[in-house]
Amino acid sequence: MEDNQNEIFPVVDEDGRVVGSATRGECHSGSMLLHPVVHLHVFNRAGELYLQKRPAWKDIQPGKWDTAVGGHIDYGETPEDALQREVREELGITNFTPEFVAKYVFESSRERELVYVHRCTYDGPLQPSASELDGGRFWTLQEIHDAMGKGILTPNFESEFKRCFDNGMKNKYALFFDIDGTLVSFRTHEIPSSTIQALTQAKANGSRVYIATGRPPVIITNLDAIRHLVDGYITTNGALCYVGDELVCCQPIPKEDVMTCVADAQTNGYSLIVVGRKDVAVLDPTGDVDRIFRQMLAVKEFNRAAPLDIVLQQDVLQMTPFFSPDYEKQLLARLPNCVSGRWHPEFTDITANGADKGKGILAMARHEGFDPSHTIAFGDGGNDTSMILQAGIGIAMGNAIDALKQHADYVTTSVDDDGILNALRHFNVID
């Protein structure tokens, strides 16, 4: 098989405006006629990049590994239509969301192309065209770096990879971090210096940093070292999300479920934190709140001034009862509009159905205008499961519970062993 040398291509200027036409043979003969092409870089959720192998009969760079999808724009065709056609023909993909990355001019000794670069995150089935390709596979970014300059990859792929994915563009993720056990060590109650270093570099490279915590805003008191880096907050397990003074989402618990839980705590004598939109009330007959929040979690401030009846007049965003997992199941059966997320063996967080950290990522993506698939989430507890599943890449800390690790795309080292730094390096978010 060989390419049709008489196929007609559009000739364009550097803005993409059509100024003429020429055959494939003319465009590839060293004439330097600028003609447009589309490229799609296909990443999976693990951050690996799919490369196709060019068949031996290709007139340009035969037998070398190249961008997942690449093809010429036909005369009279738009870049968007050409991309859909090429992806369908070469990989059999019809359901994907392309993200425009860049447009640039590529020159070699044989041709001059105006390249429209796109990327997507895709974990579905791939069906490489037997007539167009000589197969393909996902490569780790380290494998790609190791193959550079050795005649394994096409020169235009190497150039494009360095241009678009080695100069910081690949590093621009929306990063979501749980606090306790993820950003902050349970052992030292501080953010490790390596984590501060990693987040500072990620921000400098263009990434966004978001907090995703079960804590209500009033007790987010342990982030002073990185507060200037934070772009927004998912708090109370997704029930309240905000950027600066701007509300992103608020999902209160139905009043009947609030009253059921409060009455149960008062009847059975367990401690309960009730988080309102403005204030927090604490019922602590057992002393568990003092013992855990002040001593184990090192909460510096906790506004207990609000009486319960004042908080109950507000929208209640979260309730935190201190009881066993077995009793948690019993109570949830009586709270039909609620879900729970346990990140500590002695208590759980109860929020409204539909309020979780994963939904918080989606709400933040809509508000901030980023692609939800181009996100990385870090967590260690059960209440992090939804965001580990929702994020483009879900990362469990080495100290995470086993159930969370089973859902993660990647397990890093522990919070006390530079876990965040190591993971961001692994996925080339930072150097």
CATH match for 255-352 among 3.40.50.2000, 3.80.30.20, 3.30.1240.10, 3.30.460.10: 3.30.1240.10
CATH topology of domain 171-251+356-426: Rossmann fold (3.40.50)
Amino acid 74: pLDDT? 94
Instruction: Give per-residue pLDDT as tens, 150-193.
Output: 999 998 899 889 877 764 444 579 999 999 999 999 999 999 99
Is the pLDDT at 73 greater than 90, yes or no?
yes
Asked if residue 426 lies in contact with residue 410, where contact means CB atoms within 8 angstroms, the answer is: yes
pLDDT value at position 170? 47
- 404-427: average pLDDT: 95
Provide the pLDDT for residue 17: 92
Closest CA to 102 of 52, 153, 39, 36: 39
pLDDT tens digit sequence for 256-276: 999 999 999 999 999 999 999
The pLDDT value given to residue 68: 94
User: For 102-127, what is the mean pLDDT?
Assistant: 88
Domain boundaries defined on the chain: 8-167, 171-251+356-426, 255-352
pTM of the complete model beyond 0.75: no
Contact in structure between 361 and 390 (CB atoms under 8 Å): yes
171-251+356-426 and 255-352 share one CATH topology?
no
- The pLDDT tens digits for 323-366 are 999 999 999 999 999 999 888 889 999 999 999 999 999 999 99
Query: CA 289 to CA 285: how far, in whole Å?
Result: 9
Give me the architecture of the 8-167 domain, per CATH.
Alpha-Beta Complex (3.90)
C-alpha 77/C-alpha 58 separation (Å) is: 23
- Cβ-contact 42, 124 below 8 angstroms: no
Distance (Å, whole) CA 111 – CA 49: 26
Q: Could you tell me which residue, 227 or 105, shows the higher pLDDT?
A: 227
